[in-house]
Chain A
Amino acid sequence: MTAFFSIILRDCRLSWRQGASSGMSVAFFIIVVSLFPLGIGPEANILSRVSVGVIWVAALLACLLSLDRLFQADYEDGSLDQLVLSVMPLEMTVLAKSIAHWMTTALPLIVIAPLLSVFMNMPAEGMWPLLSAMLIGTPGLSFIGSIGAGLTLSLRRGGVLLSLLVLPLYIPFLIFGVMAVDAAIGGFEPAPHLMILGAFTLTSMVLAPWAAAAALRLGLE
């Protein structure tokens, strides 16, 4: 277990030292969301109607943006070799790295999301559901993303391919993430949607590390 936490700690520390990566995702998130009012006009009603969807889509893209570095950096400097050879099962290593990815990428997005929901004139009843939905759903994005990152490990220009592979798999998270918030805004109970979202995240937590580990072993051959 110490090994597991030491991987999370190391990745968070690296991201902190490099600083730019988390900051860049947040900046990207903000810019993408602010493009929408410019694209569809400043009318408050329309913005309010699309706000939840826009925030979720921007969050998906921001998570995706940093995925290609998930294993790439370790691959380039040879750390991945050492991670694979270590006593820890590779599946657990992948899980730890995905959790670290979530903490360094998605968590800052969740912190900034309330601000953006004000930008987008999102009804206030949606705020807590939005935060809980993101908190529940975004770990799944990192888990599923690890498969794509593993598959595109040794490829030049893997980034574009990565989005083609991963985005279709993100669709269920998007659908239920948005619906939970929409339900709350419409005066319904968001809990069922959040539970389904949680089910997706848990399933991906169990299954994705296997696939990603298999892909990584292949990438190192």
Chain B
Amino acid sequence: MHKFANPARFIRLSDLLLPWLMAVTVILLTGGLYMVFFASPDDYQQGATVRIMYVHVPAAYMAMLGYSVMAVASASSLIWKHPLADQIARAAAPIGAAFTLIALITGSLWGRPMWGTWWVWDARLTSVLILLFLYLGYMALWEAIEDPIKAAKACAILALVGFVNVPIIKFSVDWWNTLHQPASLFKMGGSSIHPEMLWPLLLMIGAFKAYFFVILLWRVKTLLIGRKIRALRMAQLGDN
């Protein structure tokens, strides 16, 4: 079972990759932020508040990426019993949850000038809110089961069940929203986006993605080291 998994090799690899990824994050983020604040136009309707988009959209994108990483890692953990996959799934959850929260908060901040209230039961926001609940359930299950091997398997099952349900929930919420609300006041992506806004947005998405993987590698490394410490403690107990 542990033939393929070589945590030591993973740690060496991540040590090699991390500085490069961090550099990419910093470069993209600096460039992106510069463009966001100084080199992109105000929206003709929304004015400067449109700049919230450059944080909101990448965060929402990372929220979904986080869940996908979790689901793929969970599937490979169940199928190939790869213990590193467990740690990747576990590490991805809080990062994804944090981005989901950021997407919700920025969405709410953006909604204030747009809709006149802090919260609107818009289909997008509602789906993201439910995604946050799915993340929280997953993390709570990890915490609740003491035996780490069992916890990993149980969470993998949950992540896959959640992953199958995400499109169904999304579909239901969209349907619910179209019936209960007049057409949304504001639609992203529906209209073509101005190239001067597209570039900073792409840069920011790239920066967020690089940042996501920096944190992911870091957390996996931390979890592996934590596991080693526990094993060593136990070995010490055994010697006495």
> Are any A and B Cβ atoms less than 8 Å apart in their complex?
yes
Chain A interface (Cβ < 8 Å from any Cβ of B): 147, 151-152, 154-155, 158, 161, 164-165, 167-169, 171-172, 175-176, 179, 200, 207, 211, 214-215, 218-219, 221
Chain B residues within 8 Å of A, Cβ to Cβ: 130, 133-134, 136-137, 140-141, 144-145, 150, 153-154, 157-158, 160-162, 164-165, 168-169, 171-173, 175-176, 179
Q: Once the chains bind, are A172 and B160 in contact (CB under 8 Å)?
A: no
| Closest-CB distance, B3 to chain A (whole angstroms) | 22
Closest chain A residue, CB of each to CB of B78: A214
Bound-state Cα–Cα, A155 to B151, Å: 11
Selected from B136, B154, B168, the residue in CB contact (under 8 A) with A151 is B154
Main secondary structure of the interface of A (DSSP, over half): helix
A to B contact number (C-beta, < 8 Å): 70
B179 (CB) vs chain A CBs: closest residue: A179
Query: Are A211 and B157 closer than 8 Å at their CB atoms?
Result: yes
Q: How far is the CA of A165 from the CA of B134 in the complex (A)?
A: 7
Report whether A211 and B161 are in contact in the complex, using a CB–CB cutoff of 8 Å. yes
Q: Which residue of B lies closest to A214 (CB)?
A: B157
**Which of the residues A168, A172, A175, A176 comes within 8 Å of B137, measured between beta carbons?**
A168
The answer for the CA separation of A30 and B144 in the assembled complex, in Å, is 32
Contact of A218 with B153 in the complex, beta carbons under 8 Å: yes
Bound Cα distance from A167 to B132, whole angstroms: 13
Report which of B137, B153, B175 forms a contact with A165, defined as CB distance below 8 A. B137
Q: Is the CB of B141 within 8 A of A168?
A: no
Taking a contact as CB atoms under 8 Å apart, the answer to whether B161 and A158 are in contact is no
Query: A172-B169, A179-B179 known; A151 and B157 CB under 8 Å?
Result: yes
B141 touches A172 (CB 8 A): no
**What B residues does A161 contact at CB under 8 A?**
137, 140-141, 144
A136 to chain B, nearest CB (A): 15
Residues B168 and A172 in contact, CB atoms below 8 Å apart: yes
Contacts of B169 in A (CB 8 A): 168-169, 171-172
Q: Is the CB of A200 within 8 A of B161?
A: no
In the A-B complex, list the 3 residue pairs whose CB atoms are closest, starting with the nearest: A172-B172, A168-B133, A175-B172
On whether the beta carbons of B150 and A211 are closer than 8 Å, the reply is: no
A158 to chain B: which residues have CB within 8 Å? 144
Contact across chains for B172 and A171 when beta carbons are under 8 A apart: yes
A221 with B150: CB separation less than 8 A: yes
Chain B residue, CB-CB nearest to A176 = B172
Whether A155 contacts B145 by the Cβ 8 Å rule is: yes
Q: Distance (Å) between the CB of B119 and the closest chain A CB?
A: 17
The smallest beta-carbon distance between A137 and chain B, in angstroms, is: 12
A218 with B154, Cβ < 8 A, contacts A164-B133, A175-B173, A179-B179 known: yes
- Give bound CA distance, A51 to B61, whole Å: 37
